[in-house]
Amino acid sequence: MSGVKTLSEFIIERQDDFPYATGELTRLLNDIVIATKIINREVNKAGLVNIIGATESENIQGETQQKLDVMADNQFISALQNGGEACGLASEENDHELIFKSDFAKKGNYVVAFDPLDGSSNIDVNVSIGTIFSIFRRKSKVGEEANLQDFLQKGDEQVAAGYIVYGSSTMLVYTTGNGVNGFTLDPSIGEFCLSHPNMKIKEDGKIYSLNEGNYPFFSQGVRDYIEYCKEDDKETNRPFSARYIGSMVADFHRNLIKGGIFIYPETTKAPNGKLRILYECNPMAFIMEQAGGAATTGKQRIMDVELTELHQRVPCIMGSKKMVEKMLTFL
């Protein structure tokens, strides 16, 4: 396979970049990759088998769970539970953190937070969806059971984060704090192959992505910024293009590649916005900053926010540095 670098080869090659280079994080990333390959397989045949549509249950946030959400969640749980590197996990689909009880798992050094299938409203309509993950070193003692505090760490404490976008091709993008690299799944060999080395977001862009239907519920500052995006001004490349898929992973991925800003602000209906910091905003903020972009709540850097709850929400503004800086002048 000359000229092709697989994700497994790349992870091993970069192992020494990790602050704790014992090979555990490498194995943990590999466990995650296996889960995502299975999820990818299921997502790809979603219309053929009885796996699209809603379940009869809701998650703790009152959202109806889709069958694929639950399938993806289960894939992650079993991959991490059996892997031995993680001592616990937290996910969008589980009300509370899941602490692994086996002696084997208690020796694990890491906890993982994830959104197994992001963009649930797009599942049934064949539009891109994604998976997001975030990895921390535990705070609790190795050998004991993990606890909630292991998950309530600031974004700055992440040791790795990534996402998978199930789109026209399936891509995995991740960082361990040494830049961002992207891999495309080659279905013929079942391997993610390095396709986007050292990803960098443009300093400035001309795409803005937000759910403008919420305009009446936005603050005056956000409304003013939207009006700014639509003004006609050749010198600053305006009007910008509006692009909004409704899958954070897909919107983020496009903006990362083309330059742009992704916004999910607070609204009068949702004073902290919609997106959850632990497994949506923090991992994406880590990737965004590592790619040279910026990620803020509008008031502070996302990765500086203190966490007090597992499913805590924060307003989210991330993308090309100059666009984020410009937006902040309106807020």
Total number of residues that touch ligand AHM (CB under 6 A): 13
> For residue 265, is the peptide bond before it cis, meaning its omega torsion is within 30 degrees of 0?
no
Minimum distance from residue 112 beta carbon to ligand AHM (Å): 17
For 1, 42, 68, 78, 274, the CA distances from 50, given in Å and listed in that order, are: 37, 11, 10, 22, 29
Q: What residue type is 184 in one-letter code?
A: T
Residue that has been written with the tokens 């909630």 in this structure: 148
Residue that has been written with the tokens 């937290």 in this structure: 90
Nearest to Mg ion of 85, 115 (CB atom): 115
The entry of Mg ion, ligand AHM, none near residue 24 (CB within 5 to 8 angstroms by kind) is none
Query: If you write DSSP's letter for every residue of 268-320 in order, what string do you get?
Result: SS-TT-SSBIIIIIHHHHHHHHHTT-EEE-SSSBGGGPPP-STT-B--EEEE-
Segment contacting ligand AHM by CB under 6 A, of 93-101, 165-173, 245-253, 283-291:
245-253
Minimum distance from residue 5 beta carbon to ligand AHM (Å): 30
Work out whether 124 is an interface residue with ligand AHM (CB under 6 A). no
Task: Count the neighbouring beta carbons within 10 Å of the beta carbon of residue 216.
Answer: 9
Work out whether 247 is an interface residue with ligand AHM (CB under 6 A). yes
Minimum distance from residue 92 beta carbon to Mg ion (Å): 5
Name the nearest CA neighbour of 209 among 316, 123, 306, 313.
316
> For 299, what's the count of Cα atoms within 13 Å in the CB-facing half-sphere?
6
Work out whether 119 is an interface residue with ligand AHM (CB under 6 A). yes
Classify residue 141 by its DSSP letter: P
Name the nearest CA neighbour of 240 among 266, 259, 253, 257.
259
Work out whether 212 is an interface residue with ligand AHM (CB under 6 A). no
Segment contacting ligand AHM by CB under 6 A, of 26-34, 105-113, 146-154, 246-254:
246-254
Minimum distance from residue 216 beta carbon to ligand AHM (Å): 14
Work out whether 248 is an interface residue with ligand AHM (CB under 6 A). yes
Work out whether 274 is an interface residue with ligand AHM (CB under 6 A). yes
Minimum distance from residue 292 beta carbon to ligand AHM (Å): 22
Q: Give yes or no for a contact between 105 and 31, defined as CB atoms under 8 angstroms apart.
A: no
Indicate the SS3 state at residue 151.
coil
Work out whether 153 is an interface residue with ligand AHM (CB under 6 A). no
Minimum distance from residue 166 beta carbon to ligand AHM (Å): 12
Residue ranges with strand state E in 170-223:
170-175, 180-186, 191-196, 207-209
Work out whether 246 is an interface residue with ligand AHM (CB under 6 A). yes
Minimum distance from residue 174 beta carbon to Mg ion (Å): 17
Residue among 24, 31, 73, 92 that touches ligand AHM (CB under 6 A) = 92
Segment contacting ligand AHM by CB under 6 A, of 97-105, 197-205, 215-223, 241-249:
241-249
Nearest to ligand AHM of 6, 122 (CB atom): 122
Residues that bind ligand AHM (CB under 6 A): 63, 92, 115, 118-121, 211, 246-248, 264, 274
